[in-house]
Structure 1
Amino acid sequence: MDLDHHHLSSLLHFISTILALLLLVHHLLRKSKRDQKKREPLEAVGGWPIIGHLPPLQALQPPHITLGNMADKYGPIFTIRMGVYKTLVVSNWEMAKECFTTNDKVFANRPKLVAQDILGYNYAMIRFSPYGSYWRQVRKIATLEVLSHHRIEKLSHVRESKVKICIKELYELWLKDNSVVVEMKNWFEDVALNLIFRMVVGK
């Protein structure tokens, strides 16, 4: 009888120890999740299932106005969902500087998607390429050969000639019809796109 009582006491002691450990682990996990949620930026409300915050960004007003209104409401850093992917929105220059200097490697990387693999020719295009030695090399070439101050100054005649041609086309339209209406937004987009192609590929 004493032996059974001893076994029962040992079993109860073992079970109580296990329960105490489980409660401790549960408490630590909940605390870790709470701390993680505190560190995560606030997510904007109004997201839809699956498509996220795409409907508000497709409103009548431009997307940057919508994001600016969200920044006024949620602060300089918050998240939205572009489809099923969470996207960080930063509207403070100090935070943006930290993103692109201190943590630039993290923000330079991109998720590998099937669409980017196909459209980017197996991630050969810098826009779709993940961070790595190839991306650094292509970025270096683009910075030195396309976007450097010397290169831009060297191609200043291209910009001048292209803008003159576009203005001349507007003038010819005005000569044909004094009341002609021109959508300046599309016109500026065409000018910018033509300039980019002319300066990058020569056509």
Structure 2
Amino acid sequence: MYLQCDLPSIVPATATILSSLLLIISYLLWKPRGSRRTPPEAGGAWPVIGHLHLLAGSEPPHLTLGRMADEYGPIFTIRMGVHKALVISSWETAKEFLTTNDKVFAKRPKGIAAEILTYNYAMIAFSPYGGYWRQVRKVATLELLSNHRLEMLSHVRASEVKTAVKEKYELWATILEWN
């Protein structure tokens, strides 16, 4: 008498058992990284939206964050959705972060949308800190945002604003005619 075994029905069961074993083994062998000190996280975060409900209240966000700084100290973290954000409310600490440790905090999160839309992070707002970013920043500040260049192109900005206001007025006038 032969034992008949249907191969397609064994494969899912075997895969389930193996993946469960791997999950259990990885959970047992996982050790947390060293004891890094992290700033305290503000309380009151909701599971998916984090602290966004606190910042969207009737009180302006800077006052809400100031109140939280009084409670948690000059440096603390909040959750913006599922991402953590570091809040610094002391000018001494902010100066230290922006001068001494600026390279550490100059990193920007990478994402597939930013990579595609910015031609592999070629735009200054999305490019990582490094030689390319320093060169692009130098070109932008000396050539595009200098006082001479801004003064030279002021007529273009004035013309664009005038055109935008004129188009909005014409759109408003056509809407009034329909009513």
Quickly name the TM-score band, shorter chain normalised: 0.5 to 0.7
Unaligned runs of 5+ in 2: 1-30, 166-179
Match of 1:113 in 2: 111
User: Is the 2:51–2:80 contact (alpha carbons within 8 Å) kept by the matching residues of 1?
Assistant: yes
- Displacement of 1:143 in angstroms is 2.3
Quick one: distance in 2 between partners of 1:152 and 1:66?
36
Match of 2:150 in 1: 155
Q: Deviations over 1:51-110 (max 9, x none)?
A: 221221222222222212211221111111122221111111111111111111111111
Please tell me the root mean square deviation across aligned C-alpha atoms, in Å.
2.8
Match of 1:87 in 2: 85
Quick one: distance in 2 between partners of 1:51 and 1:115?
21
User: Is the 2:144–2:150 contact (alpha carbons within 8 Å) kept by the matching residues of 1?
Assistant: no
Percent identity, please.
62
User: Is the 2:78–2:86 contact (alpha carbons within 8 Å) kept by the matching residues of 1?
Assistant: yes
Opposite residue 60 of structure 2, the aligned amino acid is: P
Quick one: distance in 1 between partners of 2:114 and 2:46?
24
- Say which of 39, 42, 45 aligns to 1:41: 39
Opposite residue 64 of structure 1, the aligned amino acid is: H
Opposite residue 152 of structure 1, the aligned amino acid is: N
Which deviates the most, 110-119 or 95-104?
A: 110-119
1:141 correspondence with 2:139: yes
Quick one: distance in 2 between partners of 1:69 and 1:121?
41
Match of 1:104 in 2: 102
Structure 1 residues 50, 140: CA separation in 2 closer, same or farther (over 3 Å shift)? same
Match of 1:62 in 2: 60
Q: How many residues align?
A: 129
Quick one: distance in 2 between partners of 1:153 and 1:65?
38
Quick one: distance in 1 between partners of 2:134 and 2:76?
29
Task: With the length of structure 2 as denominator, give the TM-score of the two structures.
Answer: 0.61
1:116-195 paired onto structure 2 within 5 Å: 116-147=114-145, 151-152=146-147, 155-156=150-151, 158=154, 162=158
Quick one: distance in 2 between partners of 1:72 and 1:106?
26
Opposite residue 145 of structure 1, the aligned amino acid is: E
Match of 1:53 in 2: 51
Opposite residue 88 of structure 1, the aligned amino acid is: L
Opposite residue 115 of structure 1, the aligned amino acid is: A
Opposite residue 109 of structure 1, the aligned amino acid is: K
Task: With the length of structure 1 as denominator, give the TM-score of the two structures.
Answer: 0.54
Larger helix proportion of the pair = 1
Structure 1 residues 115, 58: CA separation in 2 closer, same or farther (over 3 Å shift)? farther
- Displacement of 1:146 in angstroms is 3.4
Secondary structure at the residue paired with 1:42? coil
Rg (Cα) greater in structure: 1
Structure 1 residues 42, 128: CA separation in 2 closer, same or farther (over 3 Å shift)? same
Opposite residue 58 of structure 1, the aligned amino acid is: A
